[in-house]
């Protein structure tokens, strides 16, 4: 080890090159030791992990020095009645926020007592939107018109890059001399960002060669990826999912210690009016809480939580109770690729019965999306109930303080 540490200190060996000379576990150990010596830190706990790292250092994390462990709790059982997920599930939630798992668990109990959540996927398409420069506004219109009239040619070129993805749609937006081409794909069980990026690169070449447009960036932010955006709220991105449940008056009183009218008013004044007054792109209580916890546990890209947070929670008065629903226009999930193959994350996906590719292709990712949406519904119900009963502060005092 000492020889490698000396070479790192002298600069004759780079941190990123350790795996070229050593097995992954040894490379990680020496890199961590070097960082400890340089910074004076004790990183012993970072070096204690159970996941196999041969693929991790190649696919998931460069310059690895260890792993951060996040506690994982379960909420459930949660009864779900979707087109892909049908049964009772325990939700794995990776979090350090006291009271979150307990809150979601209470929501799961209410939904299950009510007969289960019903879930439907409204749309399924991952997007990438290259931006091109035109010579003039007239040329920009020519580019947009060419794209609209050559959809089949675009489809052929895009699908030539993948054996799994399917081209779904293309739309254009012109701003001055900038032309944005928003391409949409069915990426089956993969979340699909790599797939659509590679396909979009080929389509961009075709557009450049055919129209004289100049490619500026393969992603022009009309996708829109990993940032809050109205286009995703309106048009959707990834899985657009809606989940709902009817709660009878007696159950609301029993579980949430409040009533239907109170829950309705809390949702109206907080989630709808309050969010509108704040200029929020999400109209919900804390959808991102559940999405983040499930994403971290199940190997999803946590940056996509920002799109998932564009959730709208609605409460409709109904005979003998209320119907509560969550609409998630942009839920980006996958069960293959990315972090889904890391051992601990794969186990969490297996807990839900969605690890790896589904049969038919795409069924596992859609099942997972339905389960995540039902978990969001559980979280929304519980927090609305806590707010309606004025129990929020008490719950955090009991469960969220060390």
The domain spanning residue 165 has which CATH number? 3.30.70.420
- Please say if 169 is a catalytic residue: no
> 294: exposed, middle or buried (C-beta count within 10 Å: 0-12, 13-18, 19+)?
buried
> 41: exposed, middle or buried (C-beta count within 10 Å: 0-12, 13-18, 19+)?
exposed
280 and 346 together in one domain? yes
The predicted pLDDT at position 1 comes to 86
Q: What is the mean pLDDT of residues 95-118?
A: 97
- Does any domain span residue 63? yes
Name the pLDDT band for 401 (thresholds 50, 70, 90): very low
Q: Which residues contact 163 (CB under 8 A, 6 or more apart)?
A: none
106 and 136 together in one domain? no
Q: Report how many domains make up the chain.
A: 3
- Please say if 97 is a catalytic residue: yes
- Does any domain span residue 32? yes
Q: What is the mean pLDDT of residues 17-27?
A: 94
User: How far is it, in rounded angstroms, from Cα 25 to Cα 20?
Assistant: 12
Name the pLDDT band for 390 (thresholds 50, 70, 90): confident
Percentage with pLDDT > 70 across the chain:
97
- pLDDT beyond 70 at 396: no
Q: What is the mean pLDDT of residues 174-196?
A: 97
- Does any domain span residue 4? no
Number of residues assigned to the chain: 402
Virtual torsion, Cα 246, 251, 256, 260, nearest 10 deg: 60
- Does any domain span residue 279? yes
Select from 173, 188, 217 the last residue of a domain: 217
The predicted pLDDT at position 355 comes to 96
Q: What is the mean pLDDT of residues 313-332?
A: 97
- Please say if 396 is a catalytic residue: yes
- Does any domain span residue 224? no
From the CB of residue 66, how many other CB atoms can be counted at a distance below 10 Å? Answer: 18
Any idea what the Cα angle at residue 210 is, between residues 208 and 216, rounded to 5°? 15
The predicted pLDDT at position 394 comes to 57
175 and 148 together in one domain? yes
- Does any domain span residue 233? no
274 and 150 together in one domain? no
Percentage with pLDDT > 90 across the chain:
96
- The catalytic position among 26, 36, 86, 97 is 97
- The catalytic position among 142, 159, 301, 347 is 301
* Tokens read off for 52: 């196999």
pTM value? Answer: 0.94
195 and 135 together in one domain? yes
Select from 167, 186, 217 the last residue of a domain: 217
* Residue 281 near residue 229 (C-beta atoms within 8 A): yes
**Tens-place pLDDT, residues 40-95:** 999 999 999 999 999 999 999 999 999 999 999 999 999 999 999 999 999 999 99
Name the pLDDT band for 239 (thresholds 50, 70, 90): very high
Nearest to 130 by CA among 54, 77, 200: 200
The predicted pLDDT at position 246 comes to 98
Select from 69, 88, 113 the last residue of a domain: 69
The predicted pLDDT at position 393 comes to 47
- The catalytic position among 81, 139, 150, 396 is 396
- pLDDT beyond 60 at 177: yes
- Does any domain span residue 362? yes
User: How far is it, in rounded angstroms, from Cα 334 to Cα 299?
Assistant: 9
User: How far is it, in rounded angstroms, from Cα 200 to Cα 181?
Assistant: 9
The CATH number assigned to the domain holding 330 equals 3.90.770.10
User: How far is it, in rounded angstroms, from Cα 286 to Cα 269?
Assistant: 15
247 and 343 together in one domain? yes
- Does any domain span residue 143? yes
Q: What is the mean pLDDT of residues 322-328?
A: 98
168 and 281 together in one domain? no
Name the pLDDT band for 402 (thresholds 50, 70, 90): very low
274 and 145 together in one domain? no
255 and 365 together in one domain? yes
268 and 310 together in one domain? yes
* Residue 193 near residue 169 (C-beta atoms within 8 A): no
Domain that holds residue 144: 130-217
Mean of all residue pLDDT scores within the chain: 95
- pLDDT beyond 60 at 314: yes
Range of weakest confidence among 113-122, 280-289, 342-351, 389-398: 389-398
* Residue 246 near residue 263 (C-beta atoms within 8 A): no
Instruction: Specify which residues 132 forms β-bridges with.
Output: 179, 215
257 and 320 together in one domain? yes
45 and 80 together in one domain? no
């Amino acid at each position: 080890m000492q020889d490698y540490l000396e070479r790192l200190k002298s600069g004759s060996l780079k941190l990123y090159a350790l795996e070229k000379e050593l097995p992954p576990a040894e490379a990680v150990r020496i890199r961590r030791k070097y960082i400890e010596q340089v910074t004076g830190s004790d990183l012993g706990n970072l070096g204690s992990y159970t996941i196999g790292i041969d693929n991790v250092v190649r696919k998931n994390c460069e310059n690895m020095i260890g792993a951060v462990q996040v506690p994982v709790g379960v909420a459930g059982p949660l009864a779900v009645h979707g087109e892909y997920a049908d049964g009772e599930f325990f939700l794995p939630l990776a979090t350090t926020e006291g009271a979150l798992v307990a809150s979601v668990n209470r929501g799961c109990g209410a939904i299950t007592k009510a007969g289960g959540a019903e879930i439907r996927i409204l749309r399924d398409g991952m997007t990438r939107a290259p931006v091109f420069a035109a010579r003039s506004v007239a040329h920009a219109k020519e580019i947009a018109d060419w794209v609209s009239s050559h959809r089949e040619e675009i489809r052929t070129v895009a699908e030539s890059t993948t054996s799994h993805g399917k081209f779904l749609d293309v739309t254009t937006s012109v701003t001055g001399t900038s032309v944005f081409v928003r391409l949409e794909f069915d990426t089956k069980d993969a979340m699909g960002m790599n797939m659509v990026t590679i396909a979009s690169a080929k389509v961009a070449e075709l557009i450049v060669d055919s129209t004289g447009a100049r490619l500026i960036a393969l992603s022009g932010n009309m996708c829109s990826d990993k940032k809050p955006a109205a286009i995703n709220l309106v048009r959707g991105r990834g899985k657009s999912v809606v989940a709902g449940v009817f709660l009878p008056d007696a159950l609301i009183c029993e579980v949430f210690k409040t009533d239907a009218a109170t829950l309705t008013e809390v949702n109206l004044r907080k989630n709808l009016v309050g969010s509108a007054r704040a200029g929020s792109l999400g109209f919900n209580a804390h959808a991102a809480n559940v999405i983040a916890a499930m994403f971290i546990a199940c190997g999803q890209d946590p940056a996509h939580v920002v799109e998932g947070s564009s959730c709208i929670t609605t409460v409709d008065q109904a005979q003998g109770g209320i119907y509560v629903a969550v609409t998630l226009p942009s839920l980006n999930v996958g069960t293959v690729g990315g972090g889904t193959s890391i051992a601990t994350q794969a186990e969490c996906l297996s807990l839900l019965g969605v690890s790896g590719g589904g049969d038919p292709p795409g069924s596992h990712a859609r099942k997972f999306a339905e389960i995540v949406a039902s978990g969001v519904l559980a979280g929304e119900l519980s927090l609305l109930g806590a707010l309606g009963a004025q129990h929020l502060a008490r719950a955090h005092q009991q469960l969220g303080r060390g």
